[in-house]
Amino acid sequence: MELKRAIGTSIKSYRLKRDIPQESLGPSQPYISNLEAGRGSASIDKIEQMADVLGVHPMSIIFAGYLTSNEHASKDHLFERIRMELAEIGI
């Protein structure tokens, strides 16, 4: 699955789990519908806005999307890679 579609899937999964209608996520219902169907890409600002409504960290949406888009991705391996890459720049 391509990444933008997988990010839309992760947004939809969090939204449904929390029983939040598309209209409540922010921009507009058609915008959210297009994102969830993989017909659009959200900016970081929009992901942050939706994450706030969903009660999750914006990286959770992106992380879940990446894992969904890559069937060979391991959550633990990805966490470790991110830790190492952050340490590389002193964070």
| Digit-coded pLDDT (tens) for 37-87 | 999 999 999 999 999 999 999 999 999 999 999 988 899 999 999 999 999
pLDDT at 27 > cutoff 90: no
Nearest CA to 25 among 66, 1, 56? Answer: 56
**Torsions phi, psi of 86, nearest 5?**
-70, -40
* Chain-centroid distance, C-alpha 64: 6
**pLDDT computed for residue 62 by the predictor:** 96
* Domains along the chain with CATH numbers: 3-88 (1.10.260.40)
pLDDT at 71: 84
Instruction: Please report the pLDDT score of residue 73 as a whole number.
Output: 87
Task: Return d(Cα 57, Cα 26) in angstroms, integer.
Answer: 16
pTM for the whole thing?
A: 0.89
